[in-house]
Structure 1
Amino acid sequence: MTSPASDRLYDRNFWLAFVSQTCFVSANTLMAHYSRWIEFLGGDLSQVGMIMGVGALLGLLLRPWMAQWINRLGARVMWACGLVFFSLSALTNLFLESIDFEIFLVRSGLVMGSAIVFASGLTYISQTSPESRKTEAIGIFGIGGFLGMLTGPFVGDLFLANRLRDNFELLFLVAAIANALPLVLLYFLRPTVNEGSKSSLRLADFILITRRYWPGSILLVDFAFGVCMTAPFVFVASFIDRESLDMPGVSEIGLFFLFYAGIAIIVRLLSRKLPDRIGSAKVLICGVLLMSVGMFCFSIVHQGNPWLISVPAILTGAGHSLMFHTMTSLTLQSFPIAVRGTGSAIALMMLDLGTFLGAPALGFIGETLGFSILFATIGGFNLFSGFVYAWFTMRKKRRNIHESVH
């Protein structure tokens, strides 16, 4: 059984998990082109937002039980279940013919599969890493995801050079088959301390644990981050197509994710010790500012200067790099190791809720007011969440100082 007893982090077990994450995200980010699949089937931007938003609903509703299953079966076992679920959902796209009720179910399956994988991977790393290096572990583990982002969207663009049904079917087949390697790698991971435990699966226990270890205002940032993720993973592909951003011989969405994930990897590596030195909260606020400025910068990208898409890509990628692992660590810090599955679930539930509520509303905004207003709305709300979190954090700090003096 694995427990973070020593201070060693980068062992064989960590790198197996890292490679597994990289392979899955490569497959998952092929779905960055899903908006194009919806439009191929006859949908418009409002329907893109609706389908993507409703797709997050299933993951949101089932996360409490997902957390309890992670606590009971162990993160490694649930991680494997998520990979299988995602692959089956990707294959189900082959049977879709139009925009009907079925596409909502299929998209929900994809989101649910990835939700299980990300929650399980996050829980596994938080349970098996040294407690003093938890933020660093989550951050470096996340680089595996950014490496996957470098390949998935670009490969997807190669498949969709011609927007024919055969090309889309190949995209979904590759997304399903690509999960074979991470599934094999999981077999060689050491089990966690609670794998095969008899923990409860009742919703009441999830609620009880959440109330007992309530993380506070950081959950608003988790929610805002979910809204932010609609930009690269829901609307950027449509933005490129609608604005006619054409660079001969260049994959525009591949270029976007090259800058987005490339700068994210560099920033994550350079700042991996920063949360321990200045505190996770300060690093998070820097990330919030970069993410928001990046969203505002989409307004400078037009048909005449498509290369400027690199500017919002760099800024939002850097913001993502600083935000995700710090906000996750801050959410998890109040939960004991044995129930980190619940902590991971509540963090990702808020992220899902941001996507579920944000995507349809933003799709409507984009269809009626344009993409500049869509991205500016995301940036403004993200700034608001950072301000609220900073205010509550400073108030709590002042109260603790006052109590210690008296």
Structure 2
Amino acid sequence: MYRYLIIINPLGFLYGSAGAFLSPDNLVGRSGAKFPPDAYTLSGLFFAANKTEPFIDHEELKKLHIAGPFWAELNNPEYFYLPIPWTKIINQEENQTDEWEIRDGQWYRSEETKDIKPDSRWQTINYWEDSAAEILSNGGTSKDPWKYTSILHPKLTKTERCVQEEGGLFLENSVQMGYSTGDNADQETCLVYLSTHEIPDGWYCFGGENHLVEINSMKLPDDSWILQLLKQKIQRSCALITPGVWGSTRFSRRYPDPEHTTFPEPSHILTDRPSPYRYRVGDNKGKGRLGRGRYAVPAGTVYVFDEPLNKSWWGDRKEPGFPDELEFINESGFPNEWFPNEGFYLKQLGCGLCLPLDITGVD
């Protein structure tokens, strides 16, 4: 089970993906821009930091599980924000809400409210079990607390501090963390990830351009309401709170293939277009890098099943004990066969972490 909140406070700018393409009309490369960094970015930082100044046995570090990304107000990280399920439509600007439900075996929205468009992407975890109207009235929803900005960088010559004549300038698509947009709009924000292990507090280089961040590990108590929520078993409906890459092959799927796994085929899915999910791993000799590119089912995706799943993502066990925990997960939690295994299980990167969800019309 996750035992720590990893709190990342950017000290200035952070790196944002350069996007899907560059063109004369799109020099900054905002198309397909991706932020915040997925869990594999933080997992790489764990191993890099441990290699420089070991703080944990390497074999123990191989058991690392991380999930995210999430974000929070810096002075209140335990009440972090996670993606809103697609069944809940919240429009902060118009103060309007709506929810999808199941009627006559189909997704349904009322004619009176079906034109409401969501403008909020995040909600606080403590309002997970509340309705869209309750979340809005309690101020538990927010838009992205960051903004993209382009920075012009010079590439200097090797012998003097002058810009190279050719290719001497380039644009970086950076991100600046700002303030929350809810009732506490004056609160500074930070990134948050769930982790089974802690990392020593300090300053680290984080992300593709090695921007400086301050990292702190916050231990969750045994009776934490966050852990209690993560332990709840999923019955007939759930929503992803992290991107999901399914299947044991190199194909991207909307859910694990029932023909090759024990996963029941969903009767209903509510989702958006897939999101890029790309990471790099080293070879067995610790040299070189191997890039893995997939498409992930985006966080917020909702699944409905004909029969109760009766499993949680983790399982019931209070303390993970390796290798026994792997056998236990196969029996009581999401089986490892549901996740791609290309060098390691993507379950270790929090892939497809989900929570039970109440939907009108679903028993």
Both proteins in one fold, TM over 0.5: no
Higher strand proportion (structure 1 or 2)? 2
TM-score, normalization by structure 1: 0.27
Higher RCO, 1 or 2 (CA under 8 Å, sep at least 6)? 1
Which has the higher Rg, Structure 1 or Structure 2?
2
TM-score, normalization by structure 2: 0.29
Higher helix proportion (structure 1 or 2)? 1
